[in-house]
């Protein structure tokens, strides 16, 4: 029996970036609960990664390793997690509030009839109760929620929790679990993957985001933002106005009706800062705003601002930052 069971995501033969955050926070909470930390890996050929989870703090690693787990599907992965719960009997189940975690957390909550604490930004244990803080209304308010089910499921917002440091030489026993999943059990079948993107990170997991707003005047002007993103190793975002105008794709939208992000650095270019945009990025660690209007609301949340024309400022900024990286 473990105090905490952590679902650790893998991708392309590696633990995902979120793994260190999930195991770091899982380990801390296991200590608070006076117990151990189990990790569970699900995928094809993931047994080889169990050692990595041990180095990041897991006391035992459960692996569901089979071809049927090659592509993510709720049906198959849920069975693996249910089996892992049966083996581990955790008080608390943690996973990333990623695209995958947002499918699996709720599915497991249904299967285990457990409280689901979704997309949380802090977790505390006191008097045997799990209590979390969770932004609601896209961050316009924060709810403190206490759970009362025997097992509690929490999905942790990416980029918020302190990552575990790798300890070389640390190892954990590995236990193979058989979830008994057959290919015929899968009801939703992925037929193909279109426009398979590069190794591009999802916005919610990116460390640095460069977002453009209506002040960019048109989609043809995005080149300077792309160069800036490239110079800082960032990912592109956009305001709702820009997405509604069809200048940029939906998946780049940051805000209450888009993605909620908390990167290390958020650079808002020619974005005035409508309330629904601010809601989606105000938890960023450092915010830079570049805007011609010194009265723009974006400057109220920005750590650093430059009042000026994006077309003049951005290329210089990209060049300075590029020189820095070299």
Partner 1 sequence: MELFVCIKRVPDSAAKIRVAADGKGIDPAGVEHVISPYDEIALEKAVQIKEAAGSGAVTVICFGPAEATKEIRQALAMGADKAIHLKDPGGSRGPLGVARVLADNIRGRKFDAILFGRQSIDGDNSAVGIIVAQLLGLPVVSLVTKLEMKDGLGVAHREAEGGTEVVEVKLPAVFTAQRGLAEPRYPSIKGIMMAKKKPIEEIAAPAPSGRLEIEKLSPPPERAAGKIVGEGKAAVPALVKLLRQEAKVV
**Binding to partner 1 in span 39-58, by CB under 8 A:** none
Q: Identify the CA nearest to 21 among candidates 200, 207, 174.
A: 207
Site for partner 1 in 243-262 (CB under 8 A): 243, 249-251, 253, 255-258, 260
Give whichever of 138 and 174 is closer to partner 1, judged by the CB atom.
138
Q: Is 109 in the site for partner 1 (CB under 8 A)?
A: yes
For partner 1, the binding residue among 86, 162, 217, 304 (CB under 8 A) is: 304
CA distance 12 to 17: 12
Residues 262-301 that bind partner 1 (CB under 8 A): 264-265, 274-276, 279, 282-283, 285-288, 294, 299-301
Q: Which of residues 63-82 bind partner 1 (CB under 8 A)?
A: 72, 74-75, 78
Q: How many CB atoms lie within 10 A of CB 173?
A: 11
Question: What pairs with residue 259 in β-bridges?
Answer: 254
Site for partner 1 in 305-324 (CB under 8 A): 305-309, 312-313, 316-317, 320-321, 324
| Per rule CB under 8 A, count of chain residues that contact partner 1 | 98
Name which position in 86, 136, 167, 245 contacts partner 1 (CB under 8 A). 136
Nearer to partner 1 (CB atom), residue 172 or residue 288: 288
CB neighbour burial string for 233-269, b if at least 16 within 10 angstroms, e if fewer = ebbbbbbbbbbeeebbeeebbbbbebbbbbbebbbbb
In whole angstroms, give the CA distance from residue 98 to residue 102: 6
Name the strands in the sheet holding 60-65, side by side, starting at the edge strand that comes first in the sequence: 115-120, 152-156, 92-96, 4-8, 37-43, 60-65, 174-176
Residue closer to partner 1 by CB (options 62, 109) is: 109
State how far the Cα of 269 lies from the Cα of 219, in Å rounded to an integer.
Answer: 14
d(CA 258, CA 314): 24
Closest CA relative to residue 201, chosen from 210, 190, 192: 210
> Measured between alpha carbons, how far is residue 245 from residues 144, 239, 248 in Å?
37, 10, 8
In whole angstroms, the minimum distance from the beta carbon of 36 to partner 1 comes to 24
Identify which of residues 44 and 202 has a Cβ nearer to partner 1 in the complex. Answer: 202
Q: 3, 96, 115, 164: which one contacts partner 1 (CB under 8 A)? A: 115
Chain positions 87 to 106 lying near partner 1, rule: CB under 8 A, are 98-100, 102-103, 105-106
User: Is residue 261 a contact partner of residue 204, using CB atoms and an 8 Å limit?
Assistant: yes
In terms of Cβ atoms closer than 10 Å to its own Cβ (0-12, 13-18, 19+), residue 304 is exposed
Are the CB atoms for 172 and 190 separated by under 8 Å? no
Minimal distance, residue 105 CB to partner 1, in Å? 7
CB of 164 vs partner 1, minimal distance in Å:
21
- Shortest Å distance, C-beta 52 to partner 1: 20
Q: Which x/- pattern over 202-231 shows residues binding partner 1 (rule: CB under 8 A)?
A: x-----x-----------------------
Q: In the complex with partner 1, which residue's Cβ is closer, 178 or 293?
A: 293
CB closer to partner 1 out of 54 and 273: 273
Nearest to partner 1 of 216, 317 (CB atom): 317
Q: What residues between 144 and 203 interact with partner 1 by CB under 8 A?
A: 144-149, 187-200, 202
């Amino acid at each position: 029996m473990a105090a905490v069971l952590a679902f650790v995501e893998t991708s392309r033969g590696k633990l995902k970036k979120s793994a260190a955050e999930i195991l770091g926070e899982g380990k801390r909470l296991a200590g608070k609960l006076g117990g151990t930390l189990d990790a569970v890996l699900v995928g094809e050929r993931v047994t080889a990664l169990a050692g990595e989870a041990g180095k990041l703090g897991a006391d035992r690693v459960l692996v569901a390793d089979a071809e049927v787990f090659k592509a993510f599907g709720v049906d198959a992965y849920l069975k693996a997690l249910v089996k892992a719960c049966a083996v581990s009997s955790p008080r608390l189940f943690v996973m990333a509030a990623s695209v995958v975690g947002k499918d699996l957390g709720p599915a497991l909550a249904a299967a285990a009839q457990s409280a689901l604490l979704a997309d949380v930004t802090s977790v505390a244990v006191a008097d045997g109760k799990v209590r979390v803080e969770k932004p609601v209304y896209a961050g316009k308010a924060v709810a403190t929620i206490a759970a009362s089910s025997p097992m509690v499921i929490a999905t942790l917002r990416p980029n918020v929790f302190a990552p575990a440091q790798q300890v070389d030489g640390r190892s954990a026993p590995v236990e193979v679990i058989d979830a008994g999943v057959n290919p015929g059990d899968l009801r939703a079948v992925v037929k193909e993957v279109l426009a398979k993107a590069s190794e591009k990170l999802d916005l919610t997991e990116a460390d640095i985001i460069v977002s453009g707003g209506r002040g960019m005047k048109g989609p043809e002007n995005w080149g300077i933002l792309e160069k800036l993103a490239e110079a800082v190793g960032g990912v592109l975002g956009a305001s709702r106005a820009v997405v509604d105008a069809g200048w940029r794709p939906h998946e780049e939208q940051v805000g209450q009706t888009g993605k909620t992000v908390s990167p290390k650095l958020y650079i808002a270019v020619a974005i005035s800062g409508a309330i629904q945009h601010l809601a989606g990025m105000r938890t960023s660690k450092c915010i830079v705003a570049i805007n011609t209007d010194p009265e723009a609301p974006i400057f109220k949340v920005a750590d650093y601002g430059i009042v000026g024309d994006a077309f003049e400022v951005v290329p210089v900024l990209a060049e300075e930052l590029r020189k820095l990286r070299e």
